[in-house]
Amino acid sequence: MTATAVTTTRAAAAPPLPAHPDPEASAVLESGLLQELSYAFDGPFHFLLPDRFDTNLAAFRAALAEAGVTGRVYYAKKANKAAVWVERCAATGAGVDVASAGELREALAHGVRGEDITVTGPAKHEQLLRVAVLQGALIAVDSPGELDRVLALTGGTTRPARVLLRRLPPDQPHSRFGLDDEETAAALRRCAAAGPAVSMEGFSFHLSGYALRPRADLAGRLVDECRAARALGLRADRISIGGGFAVDYAAADDWHGFLAEQRPEHYHAGKAFTAGDFYPYHSPLAGAGVLRAVLATTPEGHSASLARLLRDAGVTLMLEPGRALLDRAGATVFRVLGVKERDGYAVLTVDGSSLSLSEQWFNSEYLPDPVLLTEAGPARGPAVVAACVGGATCLESDMVTWRKVPLPARPREGDLLVYPNTAGYQMDSNESPFHDLPLPPKVVVDRPAGRPRWRLDRHA
Ligand SMILES: *Cc1c(COP(=O)(O)O)cnc(C)c1O
């Protein structure tokens, strides 16, 4: 690189947004394993770190224990399709939250007991409801009609249908999910009248966004609703506060710097994104820390913390984290197939597509910077080149990364780009065999800190 070229490319590069340092993923990057796997699969792939999932799960459980709250963690399966997470749930006694017959089948097939499964999602398919009832799974009922359909299924079976009533969040009145106050009152009467055919075990909600206060407020309110439901003779001894525990991908300074400085020139073809559509890649409170804070909050209209309210009422707290259980539990590896020069920046083509980095679905972009991995190891040092990253498809809009990422070396054909921390929603939500390209395989890496061992995930 000439000095002039360096200056030009620096001017064009987007502000850096490196992911937090992660010793376990770094050990995998340093080990030489990824170059071997890229050679073996001859295409893009994802690697998964189940140890990290276990650590994240343990952190949620520790937060419950510290607060003296009886609680249960259910992994929201939609965040990643791999079998290994469900296997970890089965092995560690965690539950799984599913929303389709396929997800339910996967959870059961990999060893999770029916009674440890929650079934959420709107207007659930008949077959999903039937298997859920037969397996003793807990069904979050989303509408009056759905409660009718659940009750209709109970006739021939010996087990009662286990249900939670999903509540329409009062401060998200336009949500398309849940029962409003009137529907809830009617549903409670129906459950009471159904007698032993139904076990009404409590209430649930899932809020979009990451604010603490609405979660604590609604949870506090649902503890009261459990007490009221018990007066009708219903069990009502648990509430689910859903998911939405933020993940902290990047340092505060980098994130705020990125937001302040990014502008259309930092993106290929002048592409513009609305900053508000980006995931909040930095969160001072994240994962189990969010749970701790919610439990310590005094809900509106109460005079004790949520933890205290739950304890006093004998109500079990269920939570359904997806993204937060997968924090740092995997990454995505593409190989550079081609390098072009354009107006002072590089246009890379990699062997995968943006369908493996699902943020484009939300008209947004996955922002933690990819790491350039050469034959010699991860490239380090100050940025010398800016590069956007295109997929191996014939579509202008299939950009894995629109922004011109600052990279510490000029990428060459055969180098790898490793996108960090992609297990939560960024791996397989949108993958398709577009162009007849195979879906990227998932590789489970055990013992990342020692000599890493790998195996294929058993997702059917
Ligand atoms: C998506 C979803 C979750 C998981 O959300 P995260 O943001 O991944 O934690 C939990 N519960 C329900 C009902 C959901 O729809």
Strands (E), 250-329: 316-319
Q: Distance between CA 216 and CA 305 in Å, rounded?
A: 9
Q: Would you list the domain boundaries of the chain?
A: 3-49+330-452, 50-248+283-326
Q: Could you give the CA distance from residue 118 to residue 138 in angstroms, rounded to a whole number?
A: 5
List CB contacts of 175: < 8 A, sequence separation 6 or more.
Answer: 168, 169, 208
Contact 188, 227 (CB under 8 A): no
Ligand 1: atom nearest CA of 166 is 13
Same fold across 3-49+330-452 and 50-248+283-326: no
**Ligand 1 binding pocket mutation candidate from 53, 74, 167, 206 (most atoms within 8 A of CB):** 206
Give the model's pLDDT for residue 451.
Answer: 85
Please give the Cα distance from 437 to 224 (Å, whole number).
53
Using the atom order of ligand 1, give the atom closest to the CA of residue 324.
9
Is the pLDDT score of 213 beyond 60? yes
Report phi then psi at 251, rounded to 5: -70, 150
The region that residue 317 occupies, defined by phi over 0 for left and psi between -120 and 50 for alpha, beta otherwise, is: beta
Q: Are strands 95-98 and 453-456 parallel, antiparallel or unpaired?
A: unpaired
- Of 86-90, 330-334, 434-438, the range with the lowest mean pLDDT is 434-438
DSSP summary character for residue 18: P
What are the distances in angstroms from CA 206 to CA 168, 186, 279, 348?
A: 9, 21, 18, 39
Asked whether the predicted pLDDT for residue 359 surpasses 90, the reply is no
Residue 31 reports pLDDT greater than 70: yes
What is the spatial distance between Cα 118 and Cα 321, in angstroms, rounded to a whole number? 12
Distance 219 CA to ligand 1 centre (A): 16
pLDDT at 375 over 60: yes
Q: Which two tokens stand for residue 77?
A: 């399966």
**Token duo for residue 383:** 């940025």
d(CA 389, CA 197): 56
At residue 208, φ and ψ (nearest 5 deg) are -80, 160
Q: Which residues does ligand 1 sit against, CB inside 6 Å?
A: 76, 78-79, 97, 120, 206, 242-245, 320-324
What is the pTM assigned to this prediction? 0.96
DSSP code string of 330-390: EEEEEEEEEEEEETTEEEEEESS-GGGSGGGGGT----SPPEEEETTEE--SS--EEEEEE
Q: What is the DSSP string of 190-227?
A: HHHHHGGGEEEEEEE---SS--SHHHHHHHHHHHHHHH
- Which residue puts its alpha carbon closest to atom 5 of ligand 1? 243
Other CB atoms within 10 A of residue 340 CB: 11
Pick the CATH number of 3-49+330-452 from 3.40.50.2300, 3.40.1400.10, 2.40.37.10, 1.10.10.1100: 2.40.37.10
Select from 97, 103, 212, 429 the residue to mutate for testing ligand 1; criterion: most ligand atoms less than 8 Å from CB. Answer: 97
Residue 2: predicted pLDDT = 39
**Cα 74 from Cα 98, distance rounded (Å):** 9
Check whether 190 has a pLDDT greater than 60: yes
CB 404 within 8 A of CB 267: yes
Q: CATH number of 50-248+283-326: 3.20.20.10, 3.40.50.300, 3.30.9.10, 2.60.120.330?
A: 3.20.20.10
Cα–Cα distance for residue pair 99/129, rounded to 1 Å = 10
d(CA 195, CA 160): 9
Tell which one of 120, 205, 291 to mutate to probe ligand 1, the residue whose CB is within 8 A of the most ligand atoms.
120
Name the pLDDT band for 178 (thresholds 50, 70, 90): very high
Cβ atoms within 10 A of the Cβ of 149, count? 16
Token code pair at residue 321: 């984290």
The pLDDT of residue 249 is above 50: yes
Quote the mean pLDDT of the chain: 94
DSSP helix/strand/coil, 253: helix
Pair of tokens at residue 24: 């376990």
How far is the C-alpha of 387 from the C-alpha of 171, rounded, in Å?
42
User: In this predicted model, what pLDDT tens digit does every residue of 258-271 receive, in sequence order?
Assistant: 999 999 999 999 99
